[in-house]
Structure 1
Amino acid sequence: MTSTDDRPLRRDAQLNRDRIIRAAQEVFAQRGLAGTFHNVADQAGVGLGTVYRRFATKELLVEAVYEQRLADFVGTVEAALHAPTGWDGLVDVLSTAARLHATDRGLRDVVLTRGHRPRSFAAFTDRMEPLLNQLVDRARTEGSLRADVTAEDLPILLALISEVAMHGDPVRPGIHARYLQLLLDGLRRSPTAGALGEPLARRELDAIADSWLPRLDHT
């Protein structure tokens, strides 16, 4: 077989791969990571075997769909560090994350998921944690963020808003923004704010996340 004969096969394979990724974006956005290869194959209009030939595991498909979007969000957090104030940056990050979680259940699951994850997603977490710590430290130092809030509080707050978005937005689109604003008001430093108690240690945050947040399904 000549290289001329090979080229159409490679083009077909790339077209199928692109079609599968687009279909997976739609399936995961609607169903979260509970979406299956069968769902993706049906959405793409291809056979199940074609999906498996392009992506041997669900992790590989999830990575192909969301790797760039996670990188873009890291860029959002990096830009927030240069906002006029730490509070402005924090509000931008939380508002952007809430909007993304509300419009794409798969992205929500990717950011909050526990258990085995694609390697690039572990790198995303490694990049995000120091950036969020810097942002929280800046807002606290400037006096806009209450002094007893830590970066470990942010995943819990995002999970709460994500739950409101997942269950409330289908009833009233955008209702999560109301509760995001309530949370933001509660994060502001105030002389009348009640004490929060001891902040979460990282091991405690991990324990809570393991029992609450979604896990990546291999099917």
Structure 2
Amino acid sequence: MFRFGYDAVMSSVTSGPEAAARPLRRDAERNRALILDAAREVYAAQGLDAGFDEIARAAGVGVGTVYRRFPERGDLVQALFEQEIDAVVARVQEAAADPDPWRGLGGFLRWGAEAQAADRGLAQVLAAAGKGHERVAAGRDRLRPAVEALVRHAQAAGVLRDDVTEVDIGIALAMISQVGDASRGDLRDRYVTLVLDGLAVRREAPTPLPAAPASEDDLACVVAPARRHR
């Protein structure tokens, strides 16, 4: 009799509402991970203009599931990019701490151009073109003084023009990252070299340019996206 009662109680515990909720929580967490993975790929390729329907298709879930997990675009942007912005800030701080200020600046320009070329969504977030919640905005707020410190470090060493600002560095990165597709790091390095020569206080001779000159097809890759966003 006791055993029967015990089994009945345990059955009600393991099959009641609380137990039924456990698979739901696991499914919800699984869907969240699928959505984040899909959004990372979609935003990297297309930028933040991509719709939730595209993300849902890539994740293999319904668009309603995306909205349940992330009611607003800003919720999804924050979940994706908060840590990425922190990583960019850390990279700038590392560059500013380089005992060779010119090497630190050049290294950051090359890294930043490649990071933004590989992830259009990140490029938009860094430029404040995409909406995010307060933690993403706070990350951008930390980024600007970090880049300013990098600039001041190079200027104090006498290797960077005194009239260059942290905004100039951000604009240069945004422009260079638009050159070629994600695979054309060689071509972007050519333009980083051109920009660095323009930023330098003095050069005895122009720095030899890496990579061959850009082709008309390369130019079209830059101009076409710009026209689409007008």
Which TM-score applies when normalising by structure 2?
0.77
Q: Deviations over 1:141-165 (max 9, x none)?
A: 101112221222112212211232x
Partner of residue 77 from structure 1, selected from 92, 96, 102: 92
Contact 2:42-2:50 within 8 A present in 1 as well: yes
Name the structure 2 match of 1:111. Answer: 126
Partner of residue 61 from structure 1, selected from 62, 76, 87: 76
Partner of residue 185 from structure 1, selected from 197, 212, 224: 197
Name the structure 2 match of 1:90. Answer: 105
Which TM-score applies when normalising by structure 1?
0.80
Offset at residue 107 of structure 1 (A) = 1.0
Offset at residue 174 of structure 1 (A) = 4.0
C-alpha distance in 2, partners of 1:179/1:147?
21
The one-letter code matched in structure 1 to 2:189 is A
Identity over the aligned pairs, expressed in percent?
Answer: 43
Between 152-161 and 11-20, report the one with greater CA deviation.
152-161
Q: Deviations over 1:163-184 (max 9, x none)?
A: 32xxx23795642221111101
Partner of residue 159 from structure 2, selected from 134, 140, 144: 144
Offset at residue 114 of structure 1 (A) = 3.3
C-alpha distance in 2, partners of 1:84/1:3?
58
C-alpha distance in 1, partners of 2:70/2:83?
17
C-alpha distance in 1, partners of 2:198/2:59?
44
Unaligned runs of 5+ in 1: 194-211
The one-letter code matched in structure 1 to 2:79 is A
Contact 2:75-2:132 within 8 A present in 1 as well: no
Q: Deviations over 1:162-214 (max 9, x none)?
A: 232xxx23795642221111101211111789xxxxxxxxxxxxxxxxxx9xx
CA RMSD of aligned residues (A): 2.3
C-alpha distance in 2, partners of 1:88/1:76?
13
Q: How many residues align?
A: 193
Task: Give the direction of change, closer, same or farther, for the CA distance of 1:106–1:191 in structure 2 (3 Å limit).
Answer: closer
Name the structure 2 match of 1:32. Answer: 47
- Tell which structure's C-alpha radius of gyration is larger: 2
Contact 1:169-1:176 within 8 A present in 2 as well: no
The one-letter code matched in structure 2 to 1:107 is L
C-alpha distance in 1, partners of 2:117/2:169?
16
